[in-house]
Amino acid sequence: MSCRAGCGACCIAPSITSPIPGMPNGKPAGEHCVQLDENNLCRLFGDPRRPAVCHQFEYDRQLCSDDREQALSILAEWERATR
């Protein structure tokens, strides 16, 4: 299975500490990235301005599970566990 189009959980649940266009200080956990569009797709996908942490994130069934709500829950739990 590959990344679910329109999921966006990886652009919401984790904190991102590096600058993002439109979010120069990154983003806190649980906040939507400003680059996440209305269809939960990254506006910066394939763009060199996309943060390295975002570029390196890949679908993993253990993290992303079978649906968006599960993915949000799992990623939020991992975020809390790694603070």
Domain residue ranges of the chain, discontinuous segments joined by +: 9-81
Give the whole-angstrom CA distance, residue 65 versus residue 77. Answer: 13
Residue 75 · residue 63 · CB < 8 Å: yes
pLDDT by 10s per residue, the chain, length 83: 568 888 999 999 999 999 999 999 999 999 999 999 999 999 999 999 999 999 998 888 888 988 999 999 999 999 999 87
pTM, rounded to two decimals: 0.87
